[in-house]
Every structure is written in C-alpha cells, then in structure tokens.
Structure 1
Amino acid sequence: MENTLIKSDDLITLWGIIIIWAAASIVLEQKYRWAGKISGAIIALVGAIILSNTGVIPTESPVYDAVWTFIIPLAIPLLLFHVNFKKIWQESGRLLIIFLLSSIATVAGTIISFFLLKDHIPYLDKIGAMMSASYVGGGVNFAAMAAKFELPGEMVSASVVADNLMMAIYFVVLMIIPTMKFFRNRFSHPHVLEVESGRNKDDGKTLAEKYWKRKDISLKDIALSVGTSFFLVIVSFKIAAFFGSIIPSGEDVSFGLNLLQGLIGDKYLVLTTLTFLALALFPKYFESINGSQEIGTFLIYIFFVVIGIPASIPLIVQNAPLLLVFVAIIVVINMLISLVAGKVFKYDLEEILLVSNANIGGPTTAAAMAIAKGWKNLIGPILVVGTIGYIIGNYIGTTLGLWFSTML
C-alpha cells in the first residue's frame, strides 16, 4: 500500500514535480552564491530525497523508469555534440588505467566487507557478487548477478534500497570534495581551476550563471538538437539489440564472444561510439547547432532528481541496516584506494573522482557529475571508459560470488 501524498500512477503530477524541482535547482544555483557553492546537482538530489522520505512522493513509479529509458539516452548525444573529439580519445586512454585501478579497489572493498559481515548478513555471498559487479559496472550487472545467483526477491529489494541510498550519499560527497582545501592542496585540479578562472571578476554573478550565459538559439537549433539526438538513439539501440541477439554470451561461451557481446551489444556503448563517429564525419553540422548542451544539461538535472527519489532511509532502517554498512565499506575503500593510486600515478583530482563515480554509480552518473561541475573535456572520456565496467563487471561478480560461497 502506498502511504504517500502523490500516488505512483499520478503520472502528470510526478512529472511536474520532477521537472519543476530540476528547474528550481538550476535557478537557485545561478541566482544565489550559497546554492552555487553546493551546486544545483546536489540541490536536485537532496530535494528529491526529502520529498520521498517525507511521504510526498512514492519511491517507485513508471515516471522514474521513463527517465532512465528516454531522458538519459537522449541527454548523452546532446552533451557530446560540442566536445573536442580528438581530446576524447587522448583522455580516454589516460583514464582507463585509473578506472581499472579503481575497479581493483572495488574488489578489495567487497572482499574486506564480506569477511567483516559474513556472519551477520544472510546470502552475503550472492549479495557480494551483485554489489561487486554493480560497483564496477552498473545496474545491468546488478540484475545479471541477481538472476545468476538466484537471490531471494526480498534481499534483492533490500540491496537495491541500500545501493540507492549509498549512491545518493556518495554522489554528494564526490561533489563536495573538489571544493575542500585538503584535497586541493594535495592533488592537481586543472579542470576546477579552468571553471573557476572567471571568479576573480566579482560582477555579482554566480559561477554557474557566468558559465551558462545567454547564447543565440533558434527554433531550428532546438529541432536539430533533439531530432539528431533521437535519430542517434534509435539507430544505436537497434544496432545494439541486433548484435546482442545474435552474439551468444554466458558461462558456456568463450571470453572473446562475451567481450564482443558486451562491446557491440551494449546500447550505451554503441550510442557513444556512433555519436563519436558522427562527430568525426560531420563536424561542421554539429558545430552549427546551438543549444544542445543546454538542453542536454536540463535533461541531466531531471536525472539528478530521479537518482535521489529511491533513497528510502526508513526502508533501510526497517529492513536491512547492515546492508548499508556493507556497501558503505566497499565505497569508502574504493574512494581511499582510488585517491592513493591517483596520487601515486599523478592523476588529477577530477579524473580520480570521476572514475570512482563511474565504478560506483556507472558512466551516466559520472558524466552527470562532469557536466554539473563544468568539466566539459572529461564528459566524453568518462562515458567511454565507464562503459568498460559493464563488460568486466559480470566476470568480477561471478568470480567473487563463487569464491564467497565456499566460505559460508
């Protein structure tokens, strides 16, 4: 039974709340200095957590599913239309190494957390498989491991809630870290400095307002932006679905076929690749379109609101508080090892935070963070590198799950 003010089938009201709060977050960020320091992304996310945890809106609804199904795929091409194509490939290779180190950190965190809590949480071998796969890849890997290890439904639900709450908290932490002197004094942060370069001139405007200044945009620009994005999404998803259906995958299939299926059968990886290909082949066309970044960013803010909605604190307290501890240990160890490895190998703070985000939340949340922070040169690379997690996540989850099962 739903005990919320707005019911899950009241679609127009829920859409309205999400859109209005996303818009309000952008306005607050650009109008008030305190909001600019917090960032509109955190305002959107925290506001959604408050709305769902105070019983105003439900934690599940077809509206939220629609955001994941339609809004995110449309946002990705829109935000890539004006990126530096050559720089994407240069940065992607650099980011891959720190991403893999961060993935190792997830494995280490899962192993430590498992041994600390294996006597206190039932089915922890199966949950460990799910969370390790998810915290290297994403929701696709989570679902795959849940099906593979046949975890009881109530434990899957509890794990989802713990994961959602942890992701929301961690996202806020990652957004705050670049503003802290402790980290700025110890890590290079050129992307932060680039965004802040206009701050010295105090004209009463917030950083966000300066960055998102007015631009010339026509009806044709809007039409071409949205139309081109839809075209790329449709073609990419059809290609991915086709290859995903004809290329076999699973335990009985060779590593090469699994890898191939993961590469050209993943719709987001195909979408990113096809967008890059279009940018390389038709650079003048994309340079002529104004407004794509603004439209894509507004869609990402809608996504920020939806991320916070499922983070139900009462459900965690009632059902499985130790599961939150389990995932928190994984996340903390991932962050610590990622920061240490990044420092040793001389990576920028922004790169370290984004790959950790890509591990824990997936490439979409990492790209969303890069957009919110104004690190535009890292949006494309983190999308490319983050999708590698989808490929290796199931292998890591399966290996750990089978190993953990011998301990219980």
Structure 2
Amino acid sequence: MTVIQVLFCILFPAAAIWAGERFRAAKFLGPVTLCYVAGVLVANLPGVRLAEGASMRVSEVAVPLAIPLLLFSSDVRQWPRLARSLLISFALACVAAVVAAGFIGWFFRGETDEWWKIAGMLVGVYVGGTVNMAAIGGVLETKSETFVLLNTADLAAGGLYLIFLLTFAQRLLLRFMPPFTAAPHPEPFEHPGEGLGTWTRHHLRDMGLGFGLAVAIAAVAVGGTLLAFGKLEASPALLGITSLGIAASLFPRVRRLQGAYELGEYLLLIFCVAMGSLADLRMLSGGSVTLFVYVWAVMGLAIVLHVTASALLRIDADSTLICSTATIYGPAQIGPVAAAMKNRALVGPGLTLGLAGIALGNYLGLLTAWGLRWLAGGG
C-alpha cells in the first residue's frame, strides 16, 4: 500500500497536467488545485488508510530539490537593470507582505501557538510561492494540518484576487494611478517560457543535468550542515540550498537548461499531492476558521499596503499590478495578467521578478518568523 501511495503522489501530477490541457474545468482549476484535491479525496476515502510517514518523506524530498530547479533560470545580474518603478514597486510588495504578516500575526498570537510560524510561511508565499511556504514550514516544524489549511485558504483567496487581476483591476487602479509609459527593458529575461505540458525528448538531457545538479546542491547543503553542527539543522540547510541555487544561476549554461524550471514545478505538484493526502476533513472545524481569517487578512492587507505605497510614489498602475502578481503568484500568472492588461512589455520583467521573489521568500519568511518569536519573548 505504501508503494502505491508513493507512486500515486509521483504520477498523479502528470494526469492533472494532461487534464488541464484538454478540459476547460481542469484548466480553470489548475494542476495545483487538482493535485491537492486528489490527495485530500484519497486520504478521506472510506476504508483507505494511508501511511502518513510516506507522504511526509515524499514532501520532504520534493521541496529541497524543487527550490534550485526553480532558481536555475533566474539571473540576479539582471535585477538591478529593471526599470526603477518596477524595482521600487517590487520592494514595496515585499515590505508590505512582511508588515502585513507581522501585524496580523501579532494580532492572532493568542489564537494559536503557531502564529509566528504561520506569519513566516505567509511572507514566504506572498513574496515567493508555495515552495517557500512549504520550505519555511518544514524548517519551523509546523504541523502538517496547519500547512494544508493555510494552503487551502491561500488557494481560495488567491483565486478571487486572480479574477480581479484578470478583469477590472487595471481600470480601477488607473482612477488614481498614472498609466504605464513604455520604457526599454533588457532582453532576454532568461526563462524557459514553456508550460509543463510541452516536454519533449529534447528536454530529457537538460532535465537530467538540472536534476543531478539540484541533487548535488541539496547534498552539499545537507553535508555542510552536518559537518558544521554535527546534526541536520533545517534552517542552514534550506538557506544553503537557496544560496547555492542562486549561485548556480549565474552560469549561462545552467540558465539555459531546458525543462529544469518545469521539472521544479512538477516536483511541487508531487508535493501538493503528498500534502493533500495528509489532510483529515475532521479538522475543518474550530481553529480552521481562525486560520482562514488569518490568511485572508494577511493577503488583503499586503495588497492594500502595496498598492497604497505605490500610488503615493506615483508608480504606474501596470507596474504595480505586475509586481503584485509576481509576489503573490510567482512567474506562473505573469503571462495571463500581462495579456489582460494588454501590456506585453512587462512579461519579461514580471518573470524575472517572480523568480526573484522565490529567491528572497525563504530569507524574508524565516527572518519574519524568528523576529516575531523574539518580540514575543520566545527566544
């Protein structure tokens, strides 16, 4: 049964991708939602008992390997060359996420003993993405059911905000923010630019090299942690993996690895199935409502703070929205949002900022969590 469970976690993402390319409803939900729902459904089937340890091992392996694969296509040397308005708005979005999570987290500190961990995880997801939230949750030893509830609330809130971005967000912001003025952006912003469903045999070699490099990075980070501390410490191992992934992205050959980013996304889908399989619907009561309010409050306040600060600094509406998309969703939704705004000029910069968010999310999330714990007198 354990072998079947692991194989289901590994293989179902392929079915989710296939369905998303062929069925309108599956495309609307997206592979991430399908994978979570599949995991939850299997976990709650009558008469089915899953091995919790197997799902935990799958998730613990998937995240450290996904982080470097997602970072390989980034180029930190391009970040300072972005338009000044984009850099400022991106920085404001990151600060807004930290302030919102810190403020709301402090307000909820009496509701759950994991309030400071949740704040750090939410900074990770609203600066980078789900991979950051998962990695930070692992470092802080957050309960698996807490992560499942947080991600469920994030999917619900994120879905509503995405609808807003794709419909009338631009028109609303243009009422009090200046319009976008075309400005030259450095090209190319190196990113595979391919969907998960576009893999071919030509990608296999590069994907194999990327996966091998990700394994080597994880091994070096874990080995270095063991040598330095005499035992495996999650925090330095995670920061080591992130830093080595950024360092590897400085090499053009690594950035040109076709399919590496998509392979990282596939590992995240495996993680989603595994985490969903840990969900027990009986826990959706009592404290779950508090966590839902917590997540929605942080996301809403972060967006309001970011837009308000950008408006005060006279940053244009399109740049503000593309930075909000890059931090809230990562690179995945940059294309659709840019298309909705009819502004292709921001696709490249948006992808770059989305990858920058993934790189920064772990650092900012852990610093926020540790800072809140220190302020609360937790050492």
TM over 0.5: yes
Aligned-partner Cα distance in 1 for 2:245–2:107: 40
RMSD: 4.0
Q: Deviations over 1:237-259 (max 9, x none)?
A: 3234445569xxxxxxxxxxxxx
Aligned-partner Cα distance in 1 for 2:335–2:273: 15
SS of aligned partner of 2:67: helix
Q: Per the alignment, do residues 355 and 106 of structure 1 end up closer, same or farther by CA in structure 2, a change over 3 Å counting?
A: same
Do structure 1's residue 227 and structure 2's residue 218 form an aligned pair?
Answer: no
* Residue type of the alignment partner of 2:93: I
Q: Per the alignment, do residues 98 and 55 of structure 1 end up closer, same or farther by CA in structure 2, a change over 3 Å counting?
A: farther
Aligned-partner Cα distance in 1 for 2:138–2:195: 42
Partner of 1:277: 247
* Residue type of the alignment partner of 1:303: F
Contact 1:102 1:338 (8 Å CA) reproduced: yes
Q: Cα distance, 1:25 vs. partner?
A: 0.7
Q: Deviations over 1:116-149 (max 9, x none)?
A: xx5xx6xx5x444454455446578768878xxx
Partner of 1:334: 298
Do structure 1's residue 36 and structure 2's residue 11 form an aligned pair?
Answer: no
Q: Cα distance, 1:379 vs. partner?
A: 4.2
Q: Cα distance, 1:13 vs. partner?
A: 0.8
TM-score normalised by length of structure 1: 0.66
Runs of 5+ consecutive residues of structure 2 not aligned to the other structure: 125-132, 175-179, 181-192, 311-318, 338-346
Q: Cα distance, 1:50 vs. partner?
A: 2.3
Partner of 2:367: 391
Partner of 2:314: none
* Residue type of the alignment partner of 1:394: W
* Residue type of the alignment partner of 1:45: Y
Q: Per the alignment, do residues 367 and 49 of structure 1 end up closer, same or farther by CA in structure 2, a change over 3 Å counting?
A: farther
Partner of 1:21: 12
Aligned-partner Cα distance in 1 for 2:71–2:213: 12
Spell out the pairing of 1:202-217 with structure 2 (5 A cutoff).
Answer: 212-213=197-198, 215=200, 217=202
Q: Cα distance, 1:185 vs. partner?
A: 4.0
Q: Give the percent of matched residue pairs that are identical in Structure 1 and Structure 2.
A: 17
Q: Per the alignment, do residues 211 and 290 of structure 1 end up closer, same or farther by CA in structure 2, a change over 3 Å counting?
A: closer
* Residue type of the alignment partner of 2:352: N
SS of aligned partner of 1:223: helix
Q: Deviations over 1:24-71 (max 9, x none)?
A: 110011112332222111111222222223347557622222223222
Q: Deviations over 1:160-195 (max 9, x none)?
A: 53442232232243145223324454469x9xxxxx
User: Which protein has the larger Cα radius of gyration, Structure 1 or Structure 2?
Assistant: 1
Q: Deviations over 1:315-350 (max 9, x none)?
A: 343xxx1x2232222212211211111211336345
Moved more, 348-357 or 163-172: 348-357
Moved more, 208-217 or 331-340: 208-217
Spell out the pairing of 1:193-342 with structure 2 (5 A cutoff).
Answer: 212-213=197-198, 215=200, 217=202, 220-243=205-228, 266-280=236-250, 282-284=251-253, 286-287=255-256, 289-317=257-285, 321=286, 323-342=287-306
Aligned-partner Cα distance in 2 for 1:333–1:274: 34
Aligned-partner Cα distance in 1 for 2:171–2:49: 42
Partner of 1:381: 356
Aligned-partner Cα distance in 2 for 1:326–1:35: 29
Q: Per the alignment, do residues 45 and 140 of structure 1 end up closer, same or farther by CA in structure 2, a change over 3 Å counting?
A: closer
Contact 2:71 2:359 (8 Å CA) reproduced: no
Q: Per the alignment, do residues 177 and 17 of structure 1 end up closer, same or farther by CA in structure 2, a change over 3 Å counting?
A: same
Aligned-partner Cα distance in 2 for 1:292–1:268: 19
Aligned-partner Cα distance in 2 for 1:129–1:279: 32
Q: Per the alignment, do residues 354 and 35 of structure 1 end up closer, same or farther by CA in structure 2, a change over 3 Å counting?
A: same
Aligned-partner Cα distance in 1 for 2:335–2:41: 24
Aligned-partner Cα distance in 2 for 1:352–1:244: 38
Q: Per the alignment, do residues 309 and 301 of structure 1 end up closer, same or farther by CA in structure 2, a change over 3 Å counting?
A: same
Aligned-partner Cα distance in 2 for 1:98–1:384: 15
